[in-house]
Amino acid sequence: MLSAFNQFTSSIANLWRQIKALPRPEFFAIRNVARSATMPNLKADFLAGINVALLAFPMSMAFAMKAGLPVWCGLVGCGVAAFVVPIFTGSSNLSAGPTNASAALLLGTFASLGAISPELRAEVLPTLVLMTGVFLLLASWLRLSGFADFVPRTVISAYIAAAALRVIALQLPITVGLPDELAGLNLFEVIWQILKSGKALLNPGLGLAVVTGITYFVLKKPYGTGKAILGAIAVATFGAIIVQNVTLAQGSSREITRYVGDAAHSDKAIYVPDFSAAKFSALFSPALALAVLIIIEGTANARASALKTGRPSDLHQEVFGLGMANLACAFSGGMAASGSISRSALNVSSGAKTAYASLFCGTVILAFAYFISKWVALVPLACLSMLVILVELELANISAIKLILKSGTQDRIVFLSTFFTALLAPLDVAIFFGTAVAIAFYLRQTSQPDVVEYDFSETGEITQRTKGKSTTGISILHVEGSLHFGATQAFHEHLRRASADPNLKVLILKFREAHHLDANGVLLLRDLAETLKSGNRHLILCELKPDTLQIFVNADLVSSVGSDNFIPWDESNPTAALAKAIKRARALTGESEAVLHIITAPHPGLARPASASGEDWQI
């Protein structure tokens, strides 16, 4: 008991030493940029920062609307993230702020918590963003950022497509000027209510939405998405002001449509994180899902920018910067910060040279948010809702969905299971469920290890054993493929059949081509060794590579199998391990020495010695 406890504590200590030995992210990476700053680079960064800010400012408003939050949360989140991330990454590869996918996940989280008003959502937001930031910092500190690669692109595509439908269902009532009560319905219910509305659709809000859409499409092609959004907001806002003034001049005091209003001002939107255990428990899963999504978006965008610019990108440092930005957003009332593909691409194409470009961008956005908030308050909600819907339709990526659905059955099942789960359940559940389905398919594909049985005949020959034929006393199993927990049952069946032979005296397992052995496989081998030992039979493990041998030693499998029955792999002499295993088997059975001939080579790809002829060669 004491020795087991000491071994456990030793393992924990070794793990802690390995974690401490991992390289850590640099705290203020911007220092490296400051040392090499030049005036031409600063000028290029300033112009790039202004250009990205023109795109980010209106899009952050639209993403706040998408998440059902006050517009201020989007503006602050975008400005703070753009300013903080480069301080801790020192890189120009990533432009951070609210994104389409993160806003959709926020919306799903708020819905699952029953936060139905913008004020309630803004109250939940800081705690959620704080926990997300902590998860991101842990991922960067433990260098786990690469694990985001295990979330398939199929899952993300399905998640974005389903989120788009949910967001459109939320924004459509605002776009057509219908009551807020419709916001809790699904898309089909909303469309049905719109069709039943009749003359109620003839309202100024719908007119402003139509003007917004036309202006957006007219400006998008010549000026790009960012300037098209900014232009559409300006046209719709000035149009609403003119119509409102005409209405007032005619003696009517009612507002023709709903506006952003107080949601554009900080004193109506800032809350602090709630550190209660109940809140942490309720937000743990959504925060973890949001952190995974941010890692996926951030690392993918950083890689894409690095590929375009040729500048290196430390993904763990990028995730560290995103984690610090989310901590800052949590205490300033901002939305969650992720890596934006559109803003990162614009940053590169605008000629950004260093991380200062993002610093300038964040400064401009925060200045706009504070000094022109009274103008932002005049933006019609129908205008922002229409822009959210248009952006959603563009980001759904129909071509990628068609490609996935035309691919294999596995891809279709993963996509559809994620898609429908995202429609019916919280969005964070959909990400985990879709990933679990994809992993299950992978495990299923790798859970059938290839096991070939050989016999050692009385004449000293190794021949492949015919199915159903009894062994001659010494049986050899060549194991190839993964031996993770999902493959244990199939591996167990091969071992059961081999050990059930009444003529068996020694069972030799060749592990040269076996991979990913875990505790499940070790326990299976221990039970097999004990079973054979009880019948005065023996188990020999040969061709053990260093990692496999270390697992067996750590698990104390030696006490069950016997140290003499462990035969490691020798790269300098590929046939030596099997020869030693045969020699050991013959010694255990009391048989005399013999020349060993391999008739069917257990390793077909193994180079034959010069003395070999045809299919027969000697050890």
Local structure of 503: helix, strand or coil: coil
**Alpha helices in 176-203, H assignment, sequence order:** 187-197
Listed residue (574, 563, 559) closest to 605, CA to CA: 574
- pLDDT at residue 134, as a whole number: 94
SS3 track for 271-288: CCCCCCHHHHHHHHHHHH
Listed residue (110, 460, 145, 512) closest to 292, CA to CA: 145
**Alpha helices in 198-276, H assignment, sequence order:** 204-223, 225-249
- pLDDT tens-digit readout, 378-405: 888 888 778 878 876 766 677 778 888 8
Question: Which residues, at least 6 apart from 534, have a Cβ–Cβ distance to it below 8 Å?
Answer: none
**CA atoms of 214 and 217, how far apart (whole Å):** 5
Instruction: Compute the Cα dihedral for 407, 409, 410, 412 and give only its sign.
Output: positive
- Token pair of 378 as six digits: 């005049």
- Token pair of 86 as six digits: 């480069």
E-only strand ranges, 36-132? 96-97
**CA atoms of 146 and 25, how far apart (whole Å):** 15
Listed residue (18, 45, 48) closest to 34, CA to CA: 45
Q: End-to-end distance of the chain based on CA atoms, in angstroms?
A: 45
Evaluate whether 121 touches 315 at the Cβ level (below 8 Å). no
Task: Give the Cβ contact number of residue 513 at 10 Å.
Answer: 16
- Token pair of 602 as six digits: 């257990």
Helix axes of 153-175 and 381-395: crossing angle, nearest 10 degrees: 150
Distances (CA, A) of 144 to 137, 289, 337: 10, 15, 19
- pLDDT at residue 330, as a whole number: 93
Q: What is the DSSP string of 259-319?
A: B-GGGGSGGGT-------HHHHHHHHHHHHHHHHHHHHHHHHHHHHHHHHH-----HHHHH
Residue 250 DSSP code: T
Residues in the chain with pLDDT < 50? 592-619
- Domains contained in the chain, CATH given: 38-177+185-403 (no CATH), 450-618 (3.30.750.24)
| Phi and psi angles of residue 517, each rounded to the nearest 5 degrees, phi first | -70, 135
Distances (CA, A) of 411 to 125, 419, 608: 34, 12, 42
Residue 482's H or E segment, with its range, is strand 474-482
- pLDDT at residue 87, as a whole number: 92
Q: What is the DSSP string of 40-61?
A: HHHHHHHHHHHHHHHHHHHHHH
Specify burial of residue 542 (Cβ count, 10 A radius: 0-12, 13-18, 19+): buried
Helix axes of 118-141 and 100-113: crossing angle, nearest 10 degrees: 120
- Token pair of 371 as six digits: 């000094």
Question: Which residues, at least 6 apart from 144, have a Cβ–Cβ distance to it below 8 Å?
Answer: 138
Instruction: Output the pTM of the full model.
Output: 0.64
- pLDDT at residue 22, as a whole number: 64
- Token pair of 17 as six digits: 């030493």
| Phi and psi angles of residue 350, each rounded to the nearest 5 degrees, phi first | -85, 0
Evaluate whether 66 touches 107 at the Cβ level (below 8 Å). yes
Instruction: Compute the Cα dihedral for 514, 519, 525, 528 and give only its sign.
Output: negative
